[in-house]
């Protein structure tokens, strides 16, 4: 743990210094990268440690963003009175609600495994999209939700919480990988009967992992809502919020706490390059091809190039 | 009465197509442990090629069918050689995970490229649909029989019967069933999994693409529907039980009727909600699937 903190300090300082020298566009780009890294790291809690592909990570993100925005929209006076405690109260409410959602979701979801789990979690995002679109009275439907302008934050203000969240999400993965929970998850991944036999309760571990994976994503959702000021279904429940993190984790190296960081930077970097280079190829197609190549040639992700026998396989 | 008849025929038609789509997915999953996430994208691709050939280029239908079949047999052949064969030597769990990753990538690439280039080269708003005219049949009591849907239903029935005969009476079909029942046992008695996987994927992808062409006779598709269709197929597979043809048929029909009823009473966009509701209910009540046993 101490080594982890020692190594991460210079990186954190570097990222903390970058907004001083970069253009506003690039700072926004880094902020988005942090948000994606949080989602990718959270995805990897289940995807890497447990080999359960949760394609619905975006559901937690979007749900928290919506709960948060709706709270602020419907009770702006209440949260403004509480100022400066107003925002934290709303964030905590949204994150707790999302965590409870994840907790309850564990019951039907963990009856599934492997491929079925992946596909059903993906369906979850579609269901939440519809739930929002079809209840315009509560959620604004396709018109979206607007936050009261008092709460807007600038990218310069959102950048540091974003960086902190990304750091915390990676730290969470690191801490889990060095904890009893991490060992239990690895045992369950390798053989569930063995895990049960040595006294690990597989369902409780999986449930805990799902709830842990929901919390930083939910916080990222709140931050994202503050930054955008206006939420649409496509921006918070869109395909990219739920698929890109998976691609980042897998391309970077699933199962290693640095995988989501590497993957996040690479995928976002390519996205940026394509946007500025104006290539006549959509970015998602490139990511799709990268994913194919990863599955076929580099099952351990980019990190396994650096670490041929590294920790990805543990 | 007319409404009842429409819902019934509509539900059975959609259900038949769903059952077929789910069955080709399930067959590949049971025999080779490959989960093809790009399955839905193949349906969309089939719809796109059919629309291009018949709707835009007005190719002679017989020639179009020929081009279509050749194109998708080749695609199936390439898919098997490029994505399935390299991972087939791994243990089943690893095949499953690796295939999800690669085919998920393929699905993304296919959908995005299709949407992007269709919008650039063919039509700015990509949407695939076909129309054809068949005389309506009027039953006694002034009921109009939706003939167009019956054509689709007939296709689904023929294709399902074809698969049934293939699995029961051909050597490759029997080998496929052997592999799905006991993979290692089948290897010991000399089944060649490569030949079976080649046959399953070339046939499966061609039939799946045909499903797409028939699907858009009633409901238009857009390039990004692929993953949603994979989701529907997977739900049916889970509901019906992997590798069970009767189970998948029953679950497919159930979901088809459920979707048409949902569309009629609540609005078509609610369909995924109802599907997942049914699935969660089933998982809580009968985790083993409707019929047959799960892996």
Residue B137: φ, ψ to 5°: -105, 130
pLDDT of residue A310: 46
Is the Cβ pair A127, B272 closer than 8 Å? yes
The helix-helix angle for A202-228 and A86-109 (nearest 10°) equals 140
CA distances to A68, A159, A261, A268 from A33, rounded to whole Å, are 21, 10, 9, 6
Rg of chain B over Cα atoms, rounded to whole angstroms, equals 19
Is the Cβ pair B109, A292 closer than 8 Å? yes
Chain B hits for A118, CB-CB cut-off 8 Å, are 100
Report yes or no: A115 at the B interface, CB cutoff 8 Å: yes
Q: Print pLDDT tens along chain A (314 aa).
A: 788 888 888 999 999 999 989 888 899 999 999 999 999 999 999 998 888 889 889 999 999 999 999 998 888 777 777 777 778 889 999 999 999 999 999 988 888 877 778 878 888 888 888 888 888 888 888 888 888 888 888 888 899 999 999 999 999 999 999 999 999 999 998 889 999 999 999 999 999 999 999 999 999 999 999 999 899 888 888 878 888 999 999 999 888 889 999 999 999 998 888 877 767 778 888 899 999 998 888 888 888 887 655 444 43
Chain A hits for B101, CB-CB cut-off 8 Å, are 250, 291-292, 294-295, 299
Q: Dihedral angle at the C-alpha atoms of A77, A79, A83, A84, nearest 10 degrees?
A: -160
- Write the DSSP assignment of A171-230 as a string of letters: HHHHHHHTSHHHHHHHHHHH-HHHHHHTT--HHHHHHHHHHHHHHHHHHHHHHHHHHHSE
pLDDT of residue A312: 42
CA–CA gap between residue B119 and residue B222 (Å, rounded):
11
- Give pTM, 2 decimals: 0.86
Element spanning B240, H or E: helix B226-240
Q: Dihedral angle at the C-alpha atoms of B222, B224, B228, B234, nearest 10 degrees?
A: 110
First to last CA, chain B: 42
Chain A hits for B227, CB-CB cut-off 8 Å, are 122
Q: Which one of B87, B93, B231 has the shortest CB-CB distance to A123?
A: B231
CB–CB of B196/B85 below 8 Å? no
Is the Cβ pair A296, B87 closer than 8 Å? yes
CB–CB of A48/A175 below 8 Å? no
pLDDT of residue A1: 79
Is the Cβ pair A296, B102 closer than 8 Å? yes
Distance of residue A15 Cα from the nearest chain B Cα, in angstroms: 31
Is the Cβ pair A296, B98 closer than 8 Å? yes
pLDDT of residue A314: 38
CB–CB of B278/B240 below 8 Å? no
Chain A hits for B289, CB-CB cut-off 8 Å, are none
* Spans of chain B, pLDDT less than 50: 292-295
Q: Name the pairing type of β-strands B137-139 and A230-231.
A: unpaired
Is the Cβ pair B108, A284 closer than 8 Å? yes
pLDDT of residue A308: 59
pLDDT of residue B287: 64
CA–CA gap between residue B130 and residue B136 (Å, rounded):
18
Handedness of CA A148, A154, A157, A161 (dihedral sign): positive
Q: Which one of A112, A247, A289 has the shortest CB-CB distance to B283?
A: A112
Report yes or no: A116 at the B interface, CB cutoff 8 Å: yes
CA–CA gap between residue B194 and residue B178 (Å, rounded):
14
Report yes or no: A298 at the B interface, CB cutoff 8 Å: no
Handedness of CA A179, A181, A183, A189 (dihedral sign): negative
CB–CB of A275/A286 below 8 Å? no
State the complex-level ipTM. Answer: 0.82
Q: Which one of A107, A130, A295 has the shortest CB-CB distance to B105?
A: A295
pLDDT of residue A150: 81
Distance of residue B109 Cα from the nearest chain A Cα, in angstroms: 4
Distance of residue A85 Cα from the nearest chain B Cα, in angstroms: 37
Is the Cβ pair B238, A282 closer than 8 Å? no
Report yes or no: A168 at the B interface, CB cutoff 8 Å: no
Q: Which one of A123, A282, A291 has the shortest CB-CB distance to B104?
A: A291
pLDDT of residue A119: 76
Task: Supply B46's token pair.
Answer: 């089939």
Interface test with B, best of A49, A109, A126 (most B CBs within 10 A): A126
């Amino acid at each position: 743990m101490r080594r982890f903190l020692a190594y991460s300090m210079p990186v954190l300082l570097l990222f903390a210094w970058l907004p001083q020298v970069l253009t506003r566009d690039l700072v926004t780009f880094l902020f988005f990268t942090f948000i994606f890294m949080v989602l990718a790291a959270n995805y990897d809690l289940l995807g890497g440690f447990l080999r359960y592909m949760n394609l619905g990570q975006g559901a937690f993100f979007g749900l928290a963003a919506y709960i948060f925005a709706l709270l602020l929209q419907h009770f702006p006076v209440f949260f403004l009175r509480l100022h400066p405690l107003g925002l934290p109260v709303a964030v905590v409410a949204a994150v707790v609600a999302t965590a409870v959602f994840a907790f309850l979701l564990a019951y039907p979801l963990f009856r599934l495994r492997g491929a079925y789990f992946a596909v059903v979690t993906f369906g979850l995002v579609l269901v939440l999209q519809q739930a929002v679109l079809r209840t315009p009275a509560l959620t604004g439907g396709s018109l979206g939700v607007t936050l009261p302008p008092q709460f807007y934050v600038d990218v310069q203000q959102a950048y540091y919480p974003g960086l902190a969240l990304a750091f915390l999400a990676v730290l969470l993965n690191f801490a889990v990988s060095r904890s009893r929970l991490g060992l239990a998850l690895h045992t369950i991944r390798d053989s569930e009967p063995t895990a049960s036999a040595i006294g690990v309760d597989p369902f409780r571990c999986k449930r805990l992992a799902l709830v842990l994976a929901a919390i930083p994503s939910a916080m990222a959702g709140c931050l994202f809502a503050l930054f955008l000021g206006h939420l649409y279904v496509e921006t918070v429940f869109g395909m990219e919020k739920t698929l890109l993190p998976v691609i980042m984790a897998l391309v970077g190296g699933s199962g290693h706490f640095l995988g989501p960081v590497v993957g996040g930077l690479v995928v976002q970097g390519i996205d940026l390059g394509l946007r500025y280079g104006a290539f006549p190829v959509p970015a998602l197609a490139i990511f799709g091809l990268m994913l194919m190549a990863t599955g076929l040639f580099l099952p351990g992700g980019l990190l396994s190039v650096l670490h041929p026998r590294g920790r990805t396989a543990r | 009465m007319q409404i009842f008849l429409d819902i019934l025929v509509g539900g059975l038609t959609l259900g038949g197509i769903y059952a077929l789509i789910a069955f080709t997915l399930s067959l590949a999953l049971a025999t080779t442990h490959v989960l093809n996430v790009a399955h839905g994208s193949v349906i969309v691709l089939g719809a796109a090629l059919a629309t291009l050939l018949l709707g835009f280029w007005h190719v002679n239908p017989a020639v179009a069918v020929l081009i279509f079949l050749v194109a998708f047999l080749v695609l199936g052949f390439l898919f098997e050689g490029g994505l399935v064969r390299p991972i087939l030597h791994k243990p089943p769990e690893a095949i499953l995970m690796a295939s999800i990753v690669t085919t998920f990538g393929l699905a993304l690439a296919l959908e995005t490229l299709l949407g992007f280039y269709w919008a650039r080269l063919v039509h700015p708003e990509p949407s695939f649909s076909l129309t054809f005219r068949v005389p309506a049949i009027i039953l006694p009591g002034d009921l109009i029989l939706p003939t167009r849907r019956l054509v689709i239903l007939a296709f689904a029935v023929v294709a399902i019967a074809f698969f049934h005969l293939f699995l029961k009476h051909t050597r490759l079909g029997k080998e496929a069933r052997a592999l799905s029942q006991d993979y290692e046992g089948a290897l010991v008695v000399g089944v060649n999994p490569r030949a079976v996987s080649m046959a399953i994927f070339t046939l499966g992808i061609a039939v799946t693409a045909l499903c797409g062409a028939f699907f858009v006779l009633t409901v238009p598709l857009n390039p990004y529907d692929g993953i949603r269709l994979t989701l529907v197929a997977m739900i049916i597979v889970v509901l019906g039980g992997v590798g069970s043809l009767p189970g998948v048929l029953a679950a497919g029909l159930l979901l088809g009727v459920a979707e048409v009823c949902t569309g009629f009473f609540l609005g078509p966009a609610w369909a995924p909600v109802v599907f997942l509701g049914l699935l969660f209910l089933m998982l809580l009540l009968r985790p083993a699937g409707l019929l047959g046993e799960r892996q």
